[in-house]
Structure 1
Amino acid sequence: MERTVRAASTPTPEPLPAGDVAALLDGVPRQRGPVAAPAPDASRTALQLRLPRPLPRPVLPWRLLPTPTGTPVTFAYTAILALTSLFASWAGPGLRYALYQDSSTDVAHLLRTPVFVLLASALWIAGGLLSPYALAFVLVLTALERRIGGARAILVFLTGHVLATLATEVPVGLAVLAGHLPDTSLHRLDYGISFGVAASIGALSGLLAPWLRWPLLALVGYSLVTDLIAFQDPMTNWGHLISLGIGTGLWPLVRRWRRERLQALPAAVPAAP
């Protein structure tokens, strides 16, 4: 007997109300459009501001000394000073005194050949290579050249050397004219790099961190004041204090030079700390 199976008829669904249709459409993914940038998280920004800054890079020992490629100006000047110091140690007393006298920035030479003696006097180290100013020259000029460049470092050095020399010798000349000093004061020995080194120390301190700047100035200032109180060479000692003040007065200029040098350096080249 043949049996016919009929499928159950499916009831026709009733239409949903408009409110239910809108609710269902809310769950359907919409077409992706431009994604708006998320609003900055204030808590995260505040957390980033509270994070400690990265520690400064350690100073490598060999970067404290001049090199032909890193600090060519200081390297060349150091080589010249080493040669003149060695020559002075090997020369006889008469020749050495004549060289110092011809290079002296006393009043008599400043009136006759000012440019020559101002440059020649900076080619000698009073006390030779064992002088504290010799070591200070190498360390300070190297650090200064790495931060502001060789030409500007030498400009700072010569500014202190020339201005401090004039500040100490011009009063001597005026005192001789007024009769307060004998004529022999016009021919005293005055040579060396100490004025330029003191000015460079003052200028360099303005580029250092405060924890290093103020102890350095205090130590150097105390040493110079102690020498002045000893009254062994008051004109030279006053010149050291004056040149240190000249260097500190150059802080705005050397800081601007430092910023310009940092902006000019390539990103891959690390700046001097």
Structure 2
Amino acid sequence: MTIFGGTRRGSGVVPSARAGGRRWLPVTVGYTAALALVSALWAGADPDIQLRTIADTSTNLDNLAHHRFGTLLTSAFVIADNGTALLAVPLLAGLLALSERRFGSRATVSVFLTGHVGATLLVAAGLWSGVRRGWFDADVCYAVDVGVSYGAMAVFGAVAAVVPAVWRAPWTVAWLAVALEGVVRGGDFTNVGHLLSYLLGSVAGLVLARNSPAARSPSWLDLQLLACGAFLASAFLPA
């Protein structure tokens, strides 16, 4: 057994992919349907309810310091902007579908959570240290921190395995450079989180690729779904 829902090297099968993940993509359908429902409810909610929802689901230092660890999951179901939701949900569906087709359902969930939770905790540790040393204003403890971007960037990093081998390294390095530029130009903790989640996902993708069946040439559908991921990543990273 290996991490990220893989299988033993040499077995030539990814169980979750063969057992139905590729047929109807339950993770993609279930998660994006939940996001669409929450986004629809959000659009019709009163501003006071929206503010309370953000306060209760943000993975900021205040919530984590008060042991509200459930926010590490609930924050992934709140997109606090209607326009962003209209763009992000369908593009995320394409990205998740690509990962689920390539790696299977369990692995896709593992990669998403590795990015979403892992990057959140790493960023929180950095912010906590910075606040203690006086590098950051204490207001950052109450910052809004919800959305799908960390998990999505991790999955995007992982699906580099779909890119043809001759282009894979340039593709990965180019997007790493874009994420680094986001940190330099954006200058806030969200940009750092995008970089960290992309790196975590890229490592996860390497592990998954080593424990998956021999790589096949990407289909036209794979490339279209990869384009969805690229558009989504571009939307998350500063121009």
How many corresponding residue pairs?
A: 198
- The 10-residue stretch of structure 1 (132-141 or 154-163) with the greater mean CA deviation from structure 2: 132-141
Partner of 1:104: 58
Partner of 1:240: 194
Partner of 1:148: 103
Question: Identity of counterpart residues, as a percentage?
Answer: 28
CA root-mean-square deviation: 2.9
Change (3 A) 1:90 1:220: farther
Partner of 1:53: none
Q: Secondary structure at the match of 2:69?
A: helix
Equivalent position amino acid for 1:230 in 2 = R
The offset of 1:111, in angstroms, is 2.2
Change (3 A) 1:129 1:149: farther
Equivalent position amino acid for 2:132 in 1 = L
The separation in 2 between residues aligned to 1:70 and 1:256, in whole angstroms, is 25
Change (3 A) 1:255 1:164: same
Partner of 2:156: 201
The separation in 2 between residues aligned to 1:156 and 1:81, in whole angstroms, is 18
Q: Secondary structure at the match of 1:115?
A: coil
Change (3 A) 1:244 1:122: same
Partner of 1:26: none
Equivalent position amino acid for 2:152 in 1 = V
Change (3 A) 1:138 1:219: farther
Gaps of 5+ in 1: 1-66, 263-269
The offset of 1:198, in angstroms, is 0.4
The separation in 2 between residues aligned to 1:68 and 1:146, in whole angstroms, is 5
> How do residues 116-155 of structure 1 correspond to structure 2 at under 5 angstroms?
116-128=70-82, 130-131=84-85, 132-155=87-110
Partner of 1:259: 213
The offset of 1:173, in angstroms, is 1.2
Q: Which has the larger radius of gyration?
A: 1
Change (3 A) 1:216 1:137: farther
The question of whether the paired residues in 2 share the 8 Å contact of 1:194 and 1:240 is answered with yes
The separation in 2 between residues aligned to 1:216 and 1:127, in whole angstroms, is 30
> How do residues 33-48 of structure 1 correspond to structure 2 at under 5 angstroms?
none
The offset of 1:251, in angstroms, is 2.9
- 1:74 lines up with 2:28 in the alignment: yes
Equivalent position amino acid for 2:133 in 1 = A
- The 10-residue stretch of structure 1 (221-230 or 111-120) with the greater mean CA deviation from structure 2: 221-230
Q: Secondary structure at the match of 2:212?
A: helix
Equivalent position amino acid for 1:170 in 2 = A
Change (3 A) 1:202 1:68: closer
The separation in 1 between residues aligned to 2:92 and 2:83, in whole angstroms, is 11
The offset of 1:192, in angstroms, is 0.7
Alignment TM-score, normalising by the size of structure 1? 0.64
Q: Secondary structure at the match of 2:146?
A: coil
- 1:90 lines up with 2:44 in the alignment: yes
Change (3 A) 1:222 1:256: closer
Equivalent position amino acid for 1:191 in 2 = V
The separation in 2 between residues aligned to 1:152 and 1:181, in whole angstroms, is 36
- 1:249 lines up with 2:203 in the alignment: yes
The offset of 1:163, in angstroms, is 1.0
Q: 2:182 aligns with which of 203, 213, 227?
A: 227
The offset of 1:252, in angstroms, is 3.2
- The 10-residue stretch of structure 1 (219-228 or 96-105) with the greater mean CA deviation from structure 2: 219-228
Q: Secondary structure at the match of 1:258?
A: coil
The separation in 1 between residues aligned to 2:43 and 2:50, in whole angstroms, is 8
Q: Secondary structure at the match of 2:213?
A: helix
> Which structure has the higher relative contact order (CA within 8 Å, separation 6+)?
2
The separation in 2 between residues aligned to 1:90 and 1:186, in whole angstroms, is 28
The offset of 1:240, in angstroms, is 0.3
CA distances 1:84-111 after superposition (whole Å, capped 9, x unpaired)? 1111111122211110111000111112
The separation in 2 between residues aligned to 1:261 and 1:186, in whole angstroms, is 44
The offset of 1:153, in angstroms, is 0.3
Gaps of 5+ in 2: 1-20, 223-239
Change (3 A) 1:147 1:217: same
